[in-house]
Chains A and B, each alone.
Chain A
Amino acid sequence: MLRLPRFKYLRPKTAREAAQMASDLGPRAMFVAGGTDLFPKLKRRQFEVDALIGLDFLPRTIHRGDDETIVDAGVTLASASSSAELRGDYPGYAEAAGLVSSPPLRNAGTIGGNLCVDTRCNYYDMTYEWRKAAGFCMKKDGDICLVAPSSSRCWAVSSSDTAPMAIALGALVTLAGPNGDRELPVAALYKDDGIDYMAKQPSEVVTSLQLHAAGATRTAYVKLRRRGSIDFPIAGAAVALRLDGPLVTSCRIVLSAVASHPLEAAEAGEFMIGRRVDEESAKAAAEIAAKPAKPLDNADLSHFWRKRMVRVVVEQALKRAGDR
């Protein structure tokens, strides 16, 4: 069977200490929270590490305040999806967390880990032996892209289910670095690059997610995948909108799994402002939202079909948010 490589396991007690360790050890050390993304990839030798820095010290509480709700990065996806606070205030977020993978993985996987989950590509998420036979690609061990050979960049797909919803909600993350903490909008955490997909320093630990008071915000997340469980998204739409009477006053639509970062469909969001959420507006907005989506042939099912399906998930998410 596939075996984990040998590594040192370090157990810092605080985020600062963890960040310091990461900064000292450099790229051959990685954080591990639930390990649900990391361990399979280590078995497939997609990362080479000398040390793993355990994040099991991260608190696991959901703090509901008047102005904001703070979700500790150590909260598991299972607790996030079943939390009464999150389900009440941000149903779309709880929904996204509950649609990640399968029950055993949600019991171990954390919301911090879900924000940092590696980008995916079916030329890359393969064993060492397979990748060697295929010819290594630039994301690991090689220098070309096998999906788009003429491309100078990697197009691996952002596959987090919760990140698009966090962005649609305008959420912030707190990062702990070796020298202090800082806050960042979740949207600013990502870069449109399959390899260097995170904008934070590698030594920074995500310690919490802050969600603004929900107020009248209505949210919904619709995920498309082949099966009822286990599968990563092959298209997804997160919607957060507010209404004044029947009319939309604000609307953010963020797509999952159609680019190397969660892709905000800003034009489509703006289109909704001043309109009712109905069949017709949802269809028109979905049409606009789908335009920038550029799925490639590196995930399940054909990219032509996935591109068509972006419309469907956006339309459904808009209508569902409108109905909430």
Chain B
Amino acid sequence: MTDNGRYAVIGKPLPKVDAASRVTGQAVYADDMLLPRTLHCRILRSPHPHARIVSIDTSAARRMPGVHAVITGADLPIKFGILPVTQDERALEHEKVRYVGDPIAAVAATDEEIAAAACDAIAVEYQVLEPVMSIDAALGRPKDERIQDYGGPNNIHKLVALEFGDVDGGFARADHVREDVFFFQGNTHLPMEQHSAVATYIDGKVTLWSSTQVVHYVHRALAKVLELPMNRIRVIGAAHGGGFGGKTDPFAHEIIVAKLAMITGRPVKCTLTREEVFYAHRGRHPVLMWVRTGVTSDGRITAMHFKSALDGGAYGSYGVASTFYTGALQTVTYDIPAYRFEGCRVFTNKPPCGPKRGHGTPQPRFAIELHLEKIARDLGIDPVEMKRANFVKPMTRTVNWMRVTSCGLEECTELVMKASGYRERERRSGRGMGFAISSYLSGAGTAIYWNDMPHSEVQIKVDRGGVTAYCGAMDIGQGSDSVLAAVVAEELGLQPKDIRLVTADTDTTPIDLGSYSSRVTFMAGNAALEAARKMRALLVEAVEASGRKYEEVSFEEASVLAEARFGTLTTAGSYTPPKIAGPYKGSGVGPSPAYSYSACVVDLDADPRTGLIHLNKVWIAHDVGRAINPLLVEGQVEGSVYMGLGEALMEEQTFRKGLHKWPSMLEYKSPTFLDMPDVETFIVETNDPEGPYGAKEAGQGPLLPVIPAVNAAVFDALGIWVDEVPVTPEKIVEALRRRDKGEPPRYGPQRFPEIPYPPTIKVDPPPRDLDRAAAASI
């Protein structure tokens, strides 16, 4: 906080560069686009959770007036998928459907109603197969056939087993060992904007405007499935109405509109209905978890064994990474000297799960925060103090090789403890407070497909009209454009509004891997910093050659001097994360150049008669390294609290008779303004050594502690454990009923299933002075 005074722009609470266009409706979202001669596309989807397709008859649809093209899987047979190891999706399926909502055929017509009617006129004959709708069912022998033809045994997709350090020895050393089972129900992102894409095919080139978080990955998938070289495809990120991880895969509708544009020679648009957004999903995996921890009598962790079982839905998506993420970050908050992780992802006949804010880590965070609370109570010590005694320290390596640099856990904890009055809280039945902490990555250290190229690149051009910054990063509402502008403006002595931005366009901007894993501020920010410093050096050199100082001349003058001296003024910067992953298979998931940290206290009232919860207040402190723009950081923190509370209390993606139970915004409950308590946010600045100006992430980490803090507060209020989310009133009432009958005062999963995990891969902990040695060798 001390050196904010050095900066003119960094650290200032400025409005977003695109705030006015957003609130006045001028921003152009994909669905706003209406190019001349646009055709509208609707997609026919499977009504069965699991079936073989016997035949598809599109003749009646093709005959309908207004219909210009009808395509099926035979037109797009090539498989794609976000991860190279799971290329298991087709834009349209013609052999087999795997969930209600799986796309089968698509129609382009002069208007949407005709397209919808034509979809209804397509006759599909199915051979219905037994659906697999739960983790238990997926672990067992399939009645008819497996959902996917890879992975296994049965419907298992992925199994991992890793051990770091001497786990058995750690348990032997423990004075107390405890086991718990937890369940985290799946939920979805619920972005305000439904996915939408528009494609044209002009002069042999496809252009796609889409509501996506990752133009680059969409570009790659289009090239593969359409069998076109990447230079004949251009992907542009349209104004974005929210992703939260839900627009981080390449999607069927994006490929479909491109194909239909190629066939018809006309622009084709597809906007998903809200129901279809629930089917596109890629949301939070339902995860069943088992955790066993050994501690000394004073509460120091000696060993932890963690098992997860993820219900992945019908396709791979990011699932392999999600599986590793359920085990990766436990060690990044607590000093765990020996750690064993066994993970499993299964296929079920549901829309595929993938990354949602916190990707794979809110579930284990929920489990271990509550698990440690329980251990502290077993030992009769204060849970906050016990957690604190185990906090990781800055500038350390964890037992699973994660490199921790800056770490503000202590500061965050102290702030929320003080502000909430947690220690002096009023003790009365029905009122409770809960505390939890968390950590999250500032960008994944490895790309989704293996390569050694930079993860983000920025070009800057200065000419007579001013400064333009080019970057592939996609602003999904989090404010990445504003961060880019702030960085460039700071270095050049301008204001963000002076910077022109060209972003998220594969033709005109250099690469950025996309808005996921909280990577943009850190990576694009560092790339922008490099490009801007190079540009400043050119300007300074030219001004000084004229005998003056940069600060004494106007920017226009400086740019004229520099352009006269050097010709066209362009600079570039790029960012490649440090190679810090450990020496084991799967080590690519978890390492990040820096971790954010958060601590949270939730205050609530829980009515023992109804089980209804009233939230009183949330205090949250977030170590963001440096707040490039505190207004944006606060927005991200409050949004994370909101989303976390929704997951804790009501959101759930549930199924009935093979169907999504309520794919509608009315029935899928997500909190309204009236359900939102006051949130007091504290920004903690630890000045990360590698972040731009010391900055780390803010978009995902603050969601994580909110959920376990709610469950801990319910225990504080009523003396019952709800060991799963969401914490619905029914579960509270049931746990109280059990308590009154003399049973354990708990609602939650009873057991963790037998899973055929592979033999554990044993990994030695990193050497003590690893990073010092690495730093010295640079």
Contact = CB atoms under 8 A, between A and B. Distances in A.
A129 interface: yes
A302 interface: yes
B449 interface: no
Interface string B603-616: 00000011100000
Nearest to B45: A129
B77 interface: no
Contacts of A132: 47
Contacts of A133: 46-48, 100, 659
Contacts of B659: 130, 133-134
A1 B112 CA distance: 8
Contact of B609 (A130, A226, A312): A312
A227 B672 contact: yes
A227 B669 CA distance: 8
Interface string B114-127: 00100000000000
Contact of A230 (B271, B672, B729): B672
A229 B275 contact: no
Given A302-B730, A305-B730, A226 B650 contact: yes
A226 B728 CA distance: 10
A267 B221 CA distance: 67
A37 to B, nearest CB: 12
Most B C-beta atoms less than 10 A away, residue of A130, A132, A228, A230? A130
Interface residues of A, number: 30
Nearest to B661: A122
Interface string A111-146: 000000000001001110110111000000000001
Given A133-B100, A304-B730, A228 B661 contact: no
Nearest to A232: B666
B657 interface: yes
B424 interface: no
Given A2-B273, A133-B659, A230-B672, A305 B47 contact: no
B579 to A, nearest CB: 46
A309 B674 contact: no
A5 B117 CA distance: 11
A185 to B, nearest CB: 31
A300 interface: yes
A229 B660 CA distance: 24
B671 interface: yes
B679 interface: no
B755 to A, nearest CB: 30
Contacts of A130: 275, 659-660, 663
B728 A3 contact: no
Contact of A305 (B661, B671, B733): B733
A229 B673 contact: yes
B275 A129 contact: yes
A13 B675 CA distance: 43
A301 interface: yes
B175 interface: no
A127 B275 contact: yes
B56 to A, nearest CB: 16
Given A3-B113, A304-B730, A134 B657 contact: yes
A242 to B, nearest CB: 28
Interface in A212-231: 226-231
Most A C-beta atoms less than 10 A away, residue of B650, B661, B666? B666
Interface in B378-425: none
Interface in B180-227: 194
B610 A312 contact: yes
A318 to B, nearest CB: 15
B116 A3 contact: yes
A317 to B, nearest CB: 14
Contact of B664 (A126, A227, A308): A126
Interface string A1-14: 11101100000000
Contacts of B45: 129
A1 B271 contact: yes
Given A126-B664, A130-B663, A134-B657, A226 B47 contact: no
A228 B674 contact: yes
Contacts of A301: 728-730
Interface string B1-45: 000000000000000000000000000000100000000000001
B667 interface: yes
A146 B659 CA distance: 13
A102 B730 CA distance: 25
Contacts of B555: none
Contacts of B752: none
Contacts of B194: 1
Contacts of A312: 609-610
Given A134-B659, A302-B730, A226 B113 contact: no
A224 to B, nearest CB: 8
Interface in A282-302: 300-302
Contacts of B609: 312
B662 A122 contact: yes
Nearest to B272: A1
Contacts of A102: 672
Given A300-B669, A309-B610, A228 B730 contact: no
A301 B661 CA distance: 12
A309 B728 CA distance: 14
A122 to B, nearest CB: 6
Contacts of A127: 273, 275
Interface string B413-446: 0000000000000000000000000000000000
Nearest to A102: B672
Nearest to A311: B609
A125 B666 CA distance: 10
A126 B47 CA distance: 14
Interface in B251-289: 271, 273-275
Contacts of A129: 45, 47, 275
Contacts of A228: 672-675
Contacts of A5: 113
Given A122-B662, A129-B45, A130-B663, A226 B669 contact: yes
Contacts of A3: 112-113, 116
A2 B275 CA distance: 9
A302 B244 CA distance: 29
B675 A308 contact: no
Contacts of B112: 1, 3
Contacts of B661: 122
A229 B271 contact: no
B121 to A, nearest CB: 13
A235 to B, nearest CB: 10
Contacts of A125: 664, 666-667
B200 to A, nearest CB: 21
Interface in B711-728: 728
Interface of A: 1-3, 5-6, 102, 122, 125-127, 129-130, 132-134, 146, 226-231, 300-302, 304-305, 308-309, 312
Given A5-B113, A122-B662, A125-B666, 12 more contacts: A2-B273, A3-B116, A126-B664, A133-B46, A133-B47, A134-B659, A226-B669, A227-B650, A228-B674, A228-B675, A230-B672, A300-B667
13 contacts: A125-B666, A126-B662, A126-B663, A133-B46, A133-B48, A226-B669, A227-B675, A228-B673, A230-B666, A300-B667, A300-B669, A302-B730, A305-B733
In the A-B complex, the 9 residue pairs with the closest CB atoms: A228-B674, A133-B47, A305-B730, A229-B672, A227-B672, A229-B674, A226-B669, A302-B730, A228-B675
